[in-house]
Amino acid sequence: MIKNRNIAADAGIEASKIMMGSGALGPREIFYVAKSGTAAYAYLQARVPQSHFFGTINGAVARAGDDTTVLVYPGQYKETATINITQANFKLLAAEIGPNKALIRTEIRQHGNVDTPCITCNVHGFEIAGFRITPYSSNTGCGITLASTANTYGTYIHDNYMYQVEVGDAMANAITLGVDASFDADSTYIANNHFFAGGNRTNGVGIIEWNSATRSVIEGNTFFQYTNHSANYAINIYDAPGYRGQILDNKFLASEIGVAGAVCVAINNPTAVGGDVLIDGNHFVNYAGDDQCLASSLNTCTGLNYINEAVVVGE
């Protein structure tokens, strides 16, 4: 039996969230992950049934079903393979979610480990929060890949620190949404994340690569864009109409201070997309000019956006 009161008190989890249930209408079933040798590992091992306690994230994900939660305690997790989410309405949550906690405490890391995406998802209703995600530094690396082989709906990515490491001319994407003219990451909501660098400089894709993401929202994030190569974007939107998405109230910081943003572009918004993606309330700092805040379609479906607190003027 799980001692609900002790775990709730010592681990800071609501008692209702550690109850075992098996259906969408009942309490969510929770699987726990902790690093061997840590205090959390010893504590949970003594109190959680063996069927619900694991030393790796992939071990827990393999056991979990639809409508369940995997709760991960602090530590660095170098999985031997991609964490592939196949369960509907599934939550992958760090045990500690809050300001700055994702920067250091609970990391999913493939950099220096295995050249494979950290996480892939091709099902509906996935939520991930509270992690530092460090993908493998390559031109094919990625933190989270959505809808690569099937449509997804309702993914919620929030309160993560997406940390891309530069190695030579290679730098991984943080998030890839769908496949050009194919699978769609419908209704994805990306909010309150911190993105450090990223974007494939060789192939000209973005920290967030918006291939196909209908009715999706990118809101309230911070992009720390670090590169001086022209093929780099913070958000790169595929040149196709019909997305009807929103990019709202984000901060974009061109961090190459000595070169005034060099030639990196914050939002690549192709002409064919134009009126489909509403871009409003974003702040751009240290970019070389308006056309590097919004590359093309400046007068189409844009509200008030600011470069160094001055209004970004359309073409």
183-198: pLDDT as tens digits: 999 999 999 999 998 8
Higher pLDDT, 1 or 207: 207
Q: Is 88 exposed, middle or buried (0-12, 13-18, 19+ CB in 10 A)?
A: middle
C-alpha dihedral (45, 51, 57, 62), degrees to nearest 10: 170
Which residue type is seen at 95? A
- Per-residue pLDDT, 263: 66
Token representation of residue 224: 């720390």
Q: Is the pLDDT of residue 20 over 60?
A: no
d(CA 220, CA 281): 10
Q: Is the pLDDT of residue 182 over 90?
A: yes
Region 98-114: mean pLDDT is: 82
Question: Checking phi first, is residue 204 left (phi over 0); if not, alpha (psi -120 to 50) or beta?
Answer: left
Q: Is the pLDDT of residue 104 over 90?
A: no
Q: What is the mean pLDDT of the chain?
A: 85
Question: Tens digits of per-residue pLDDT, 296-312?
Answer: 777 778 899 999 999 99
Question: What sign does the dihedral 43-46-47-51 (CA atoms) show?
Answer: positive
Give the pairing type, strands 83-85 and 283-285: unpaired
- Per-residue pLDDT, 308: 92
Find out whether 152 and 182 touch, Cβ atoms under 8 Å.
no
Find out whether 140 and 176 touch, Cβ atoms under 8 Å.
no
Residues 6+ apart with CB under 8 A from 244: 214, 215, 276, 277
- Per-residue pLDDT, 102: 66
Q: Which run of H or E residues covers position 7?
A: helix 4-11
Q: How many other CB atoms are found less than 10 A from the CB of residue 16?
A: 10
Q: Which stretches of 13-78 are DSSP H helices?
A: 39-47, 57-63
Find out whether 262 and 289 touch, Cβ atoms under 8 Å.
no
Token representation of residue 140: 């094919």
Sheet holding 265-268, edge to edge: 83-85, 119-121, 142-146, 173-177, 206-210, 233-237, 265-268, 294-295
Find out whether 172 and 135 touch, Cβ atoms under 8 Å.
yes
What counts of helices (H) and strands (E) characterise the chain? 4, 30
